[in-house]
């Protein structure tokens, strides 16, 4: 009797995390005319079949003055990727075309606009630090955050 009760308790404990944790496979990141994201850290649930980032620009300034995008690289690749993006210029959305270091990125948007990107969490490794940032010249000093794989 007591043994089967204990067994049930163990089974319930094992089952609970999967039942209780609602899978969250998307996030909305707001950005503004003060060169800020409202999200500083993202943990991607590794059980998500796909992860979607929606980027909203709640400001009023146009894309050529206050453009924002959301670009994901490893933490170690982010600075060089940003430099090459600035060199690539506005015609390329400040991203080097076909840059293999870029895991995912949205379009560059201006005030009042919204864009999104989805990527496969299998592209990420557990224990690796990733950086998301805006590649518009001068923005990534403020507009960057940390992303990891978890769950
Ligand atoms: Co920006």
CA of 4 to the centre of ligand 1 (A): 59
* Predicted confidence (pLDDT) per residue in 62-80, tens digit: 999 999 999 999 999 999 9
CA of 70 to the centre of ligand 1 (A): 8
Q: Residue 70's CB: how many other CB atoms inside 10 A? A: 27
CA distances from 100 to 20, 23, 85 (A): 37, 29, 12
CATH 2.60.40.420 applies to domain 20-150: yes
Q: Determine contact, residues 122/71, Cβ cutoff 8 Å.
A: no
Tokens of 76: 């170690």
CA of 59 to the centre of ligand 1 (A): 11
More confident of the two residues 7 and 54: 54
Mean pLDDT score, 77-93: 97
Beta-strand ranges (E) seen in the chain are 26-31, 41-45, 51-57, 71-74, 104-105, 114-119, 130-133, 144-150
CA of 55 to the centre of ligand 1 (A): 11
Per domain, the residue ranges of the chain are 20-150
Q: What is the pLDDT of residue 22?
A: 59
Q: What is the pLDDT of residue 70?
A: 98
Q: What is the dihedral of CA 44, 137, 31, 29, to 10 degrees?
A: -10
Q: What is the band of 24 on the pLDDT scale with cuts at 50, 70, 90?
A: very high
The mean predicted confidence, pLDDT, of the chain is 90
CA of 92 to the centre of ligand 1 (A): 14
Q: What is the pLDDT of residue 151?
A: 81
CA of 124 to the centre of ligand 1 (A): 24
- Whether residue 17 is predicted with pLDDT greater than 50 in this model: the reply is no
More confident of the two residues 3 and 60: 60
CA of 118 to the centre of ligand 1 (A): 19
Q: Determine contact, residues 145/131, Cβ cutoff 8 Å.
A: yes
Q: What is the pLDDT of residue 7?
A: 46
Q: In 3D, which of 97, 116, 96, 114 has the Cα closest to residue 106? A: 116
- Whether residue 40 is predicted with pLDDT greater than 60 in this model: the reply is yes
- Whether residue 123 is predicted with pLDDT greater than 60 in this model: the reply is yes
CA of 10 to the centre of ligand 1 (A): 49
- Whether residue 125 is predicted with pLDDT greater than 50 in this model: the reply is yes
| For the chain, percent of residues with pLDDT exceeding 90 | 84
């Amino acid at each position: 009797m007591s043994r089967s009760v204990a067994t049930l308790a163990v089974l319930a404990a094992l089952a609970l995390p999967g039942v209780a944790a609602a899978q969250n496979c998307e996030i909305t990141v707001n950005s503004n005319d003060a060169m800020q994201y409202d999200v500083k850290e993202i943990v991607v649930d590794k059980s998500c079949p796909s992860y979607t980032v929606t980027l909203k620009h709640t400001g009023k300034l146009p894309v050529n003055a206050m453009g924002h995008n959301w670009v994901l690289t490893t933490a170690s690749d982010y600075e060089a990727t940003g430099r090459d993006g600035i060199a690539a210029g506005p015609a390329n959305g400040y991203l080097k075309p076909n840059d293999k270091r870029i895991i995912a990125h949205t379009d560059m948007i201006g005030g009042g606009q919204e864009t999104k990107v989805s990527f496969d969490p299998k592209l990420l490794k557990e224990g690796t630090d990733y950086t998301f940032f805006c590649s518009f010249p001068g923005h990534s000093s403020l507009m960057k955050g940390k992303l990891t794989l978890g769950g």
